[in-house]
Amino acid sequence: MGDPHRVGVVGLGVISRAYLDTLADHPEVSIVAVADLDAARSAEVAATIPGAEAVSVERLLAHPDVQTVLNLTIPAAHADISLGTIEAGKHVYVEKPLAVTFPDGRSIIERAASVGVLVGCAPDTVLGTGTQTARAAIDAGLIGRPMSASAVMVTPGHERWHPNPDFYYAPGGGPMLDMGPYYISALIHLLGPVRAVTGAASRLRAERVIGSGPRTGQRIPVGVDTHLTGVLEHANGALSTITTSFDGVRTTAAPIEVHGEAGTLAVPDPNYFDGEVRLFALGDTEWRALEPQAGYAEASRGIGLIDLVRADDQRPPRADGAVALHVLETMTSLLQSAAEGQRIELTTVVQRPVPVPLTSVEEWRAYQPYGH
DSSP character string of 222-250: --S-SEEEEEEEETTS-EEEEEEESS---
Rg of the Cα atoms in the chain: 20
What residues form DSSP beta bridges with 209? 219
State how far the Cα of 205 lies from the Cα of 291, in Å rounded to an integer.
Answer: 43
Decide if pLDDT at 371 tops 90: no
Mean pLDDT value of segment 234-239: 98
* Structure confidence by residue, pLDDT tens digits, 259-304: 999 999 999 999 999 999 999 999 999 999 999 999 999 999 999 9
State how far the Cα of 246 lies from the Cα of 265, in Å rounded to an integer.
Answer: 26
State how far the Cα of 297 lies from the Cα of 292, in Å rounded to an integer.
Answer: 8
State how far the Cα of 119 lies from the Cα of 4, in Å rounded to an integer.
Answer: 19
3-state helix, strand, coil in the chain (%, to 5): 30, 25, 45
CATH classification code of 126-290+325-345: 3.30.360.10
Mean pLDDT value of segment 201-218: 95
Query: Is 123 within 8 Å of 15 (Cβ atoms)?
Result: no
Distances from the Cα of 200 to the Cαs of 29, 143, 244, in angstroms? 43, 30, 11
* Structure confidence by residue, pLDDT tens digits, 60-114: 999 999 999 999 999 999 999 999 999 999 999 999 999 999 999 999 999 999 9
H/E element, 331: helix 321-340
State how far the Cα of 46 lies from the Cα of 38, in Å rounded to an integer.
Answer: 13
- The 8 Å CB, 24+ separation contacts for 112-115 are 112/86, 112/321, 115/86, 115/87, 115/89
Confidence at 372, pLDDT banded by 50, 70, 90: very low
State how far the Cα of 261 lies from the Cα of 192, in Å rounded to an integer.
Answer: 17
User: Which pLDDT value is given to residue 172?
Assistant: 84
Residue at 78: amino acid letter:
H
Confidence at 2, pLDDT banded by 50, 70, 90: low
Query: Is 167 within 8 Å of 75 (Cβ atoms)?
Result: yes
State how far the Cα of 354 lies from the Cα of 307, in Å rounded to an integer.
Answer: 11
Mean pLDDT value of segment 230-239: 98
Question: What are the domain boundaries of the chain?
Answer: 5-121, 126-290+325-345
| Nearest C-alpha neighbor of 136 from the set 309, 313, 279 | 279
Decide if pLDDT at 248 tops 50: yes
| Nearest C-alpha neighbor of 331 from the set 132, 98, 146, 108 | 98
State how far the Cα of 111 lies from the Cα of 82, in Å rounded to an integer.
Answer: 10
CB atoms within 10 A of CB 177: 25
pTM of the model: 0.95
Decide: helix, strand or coil at residue 185.
helix
State how far the Cα of 192 lies from the Cα of 240, in Å rounded to an integer.
Answer: 11
Decide if pLDDT at 253 tops 80: yes
Query: Is 5 within 8 Å of 68 (Cβ atoms)?
Result: yes
Cis before 4? omega within 30:
no
Superfamily of segment(s) 5-121: NAD(P)-binding Rossmann-like Domain (3.40.50.720)
* Structure confidence by residue, pLDDT tens digits, 145-201: 999 999 999 999 999 999 889 989 998 899 999 999 999 999 999 999 999 999 999
State how far the Cα of 284 lies from the Cα of 110, in Å rounded to an integer.
Answer: 49
